[in-house]
Amino acid sequence: MTTTAAELREKPAKGKSNSDLIPGLAMGGAAFLLITLFVIGPFFAGIWYSFTNQRLISPNPTEFVGLRNYTRLLKLSVLPLEPLVDEASGEFLRDEEGNLVYPRSREFTRDAENYPQYAGLREWFNIDWGTTRYVILAGDPIFMRSLVNNFFFALVVIPLQTGIGLLLAVMVNQGIPGQNFFRTMFFAPVVTSMVVVATVWRYLYDVNNGLINEMLGSLTFGAIGSINWLGDPRVAMWAIIIMSVWQGAGFQMMLFVAGLQQIPEDLYEAAGIDGANGWQKFWNVTLPGLRNVMVFNFIIITIAAFQLFDQVLVMTNGGPDNATSTVIFHMFRVGFREQDIAYASTIAVVFFLIILFINFIQRRVTMEGGS
């Protein structure tokens, strides 16, 4: 095969290229045009906008503003705070619970005259070290929070969804009666629109009358009180993760089923003759046989995880307290609700670079593993 392909490639160099070029371009023309118009064009427009002050609707002319948007988005700084001291006794002030009292970081970030280095920054989070409190300031703490949320979501969802997909695939590939029914059932959420699924789950998650709380309550005889799934910052992201995995695992299952059916039966027989038990067959035959599917699934879930948006928009609107805000959601909020297209483009460009980097790493890891 490779030699013929090489021959084919060399042939047109002898002057045949011109006659191939025109029909080639003509046939590809529609696709080239559409791709240029809707993919390549917006891609470069986005990069350009990120260096301007472009608005969605505005009578003001678009101006080049250099790196202003990038500074606002990415600027980080550390502000060390010392606890307040009681002037009379010279000791640290303490509140009712005995905690040290610190000045508000806003007193520094809003005081551009005395602390120009902190101007325009806001508190992201803080770390206590001894009596000093280090406040990490960010130009756009919501973006930082969203980025962290995105990574958290991806880190939990990737193994969980791959694992559950594999489990389901093995289950529905055993030749048990009714397996087509189960395959269909597990796959049904995948083909349902995410907006529909999310709307339904919002009712399931309802804190007072939701089915999930009712079920947990009756299964544990009331030991688990009602959980405020979408209203509590600590659990809201988990609620979205559970629902997303439920929705997406069926797709991984289908790919794994296809992979399982490609593994030759002889290998299992050979392993059986060598005295391997079920576990050993799974570890030494099934998993290596699924390697390519696994890599493929891994990449797909990673991309989907970083695109997290629909569920957030429908179920939580990024809240509570930005606990479920994601980068794409933040971009949407800035670009459409506040009409700041330039800043939204900047977020898009930065996010693109981050995803590019992750995919690059993934590629390196999976390629090395293969050789």
Partner 1 sequence: MQFRRIPQWIIVCLLIGAALIAGCSTPNQSAQPAAESAAEPATETTAPQAAPQESSAETTGKVQLGLWTHSAGNPDELAVIQEWVNRYNASQDQYEITIEAFPQASYNDSVAAAAVAGSLPCIIDLDAPTVPNFAWSGYIQPLPLTEADVAEMGVLSADVGRYNGQIYSLGQFDVALNIFARKSVLEQYGIRVPTLDEPWTKDEFMAALDALKASGEFEYPLDVNAGYTGEWWAYAYSPWLQSFGGDLIDRSTYLTAEGVLNGPEAVAFGEWFQSLFSEGYAPATPADDQGFLQGRIALWYTGSWAAQTVVDAYGDDALFLPPPDFGHGPKIGAGSWQMGVTTNCSPEATPGAVEFVISTMSPENIALMSEASSLIPTTRAAAALTEDYKPGGRFEIFYDMAERFAVVRPETPGYLTISNQFEQALLKIRDGGNVQDALDDAVDAINQDIEDNGGYGFK
Q: Which positions touch partner 1 (CB under 8 A)?
A: 53, 55-60, 104, 106, 110, 120, 122-123, 180, 183-184, 187-188, 190-193, 195-196, 199, 202, 206-209, 228, 230-231, 233, 254, 261-262, 313-314, 317, 319-321, 333, 337-340
Closest distance of CB 133 from partner 1, Å: 15
Closest distance of CB 334 from partner 1, Å: 9
Name which of 340 and 350 has its Cβ closer to partner 1.
340
Q: Contact, 330 vs 344, CB < 8 A? A: no
Give the contacts of 327 (CB within 8 A, at least 6 positions apart): 143, 146, 147, 150, 306, 347, 351
Name which of 229 and 351 has its Cβ closer to partner 1.
229
Neighbours of 74 (CB within 10 A): 15
Q: Looking at the DSSP assignment, which residues form a beta bridge with residue 79? A: 135
Closest distance of CB 36 from partner 1, Å: 20
**Backbone phi, then psi, for 197, in 5-degree steps?**
-60, -45
Give the contacts of 153 (CB within 8 A, at least 6 positions apart): 237, 240, 241, 244, 305, 308, 326
Name which of 72 and 281 has its Cβ closer to partner 1.
72
Name which of 53 and 162 has its Cβ closer to partner 1.
53
Give the contacts of 111 (CB within 8 A, at least 6 positions apart): 118
Q: Contact, 64 vs 52, CB < 8 A? A: yes
Give the contacts of 86 (CB within 8 A, at least 6 positions apart): 92, 93
E strands in 131-220: 132-138
Name which of 154 and 255 has its Cβ closer to partner 1.
255
Neighbours of 91 (CB within 10 A): 9
Name which of 14 and 337 has its Cβ closer to partner 1.
337
Closest distance of CB 313 from partner 1, Å: 7
Closest distance of CB 196 from partner 1, Å: 5
Name which of 267 and 354 has its Cβ closer to partner 1.
267
Closest distance of CB 49 from partner 1, Å: 14
Closest distance of CB 34 from partner 1, Å: 20
Residue 275 Ramachandran class (φ > 0 left, ψ -120 to 50 alpha, else beta): left
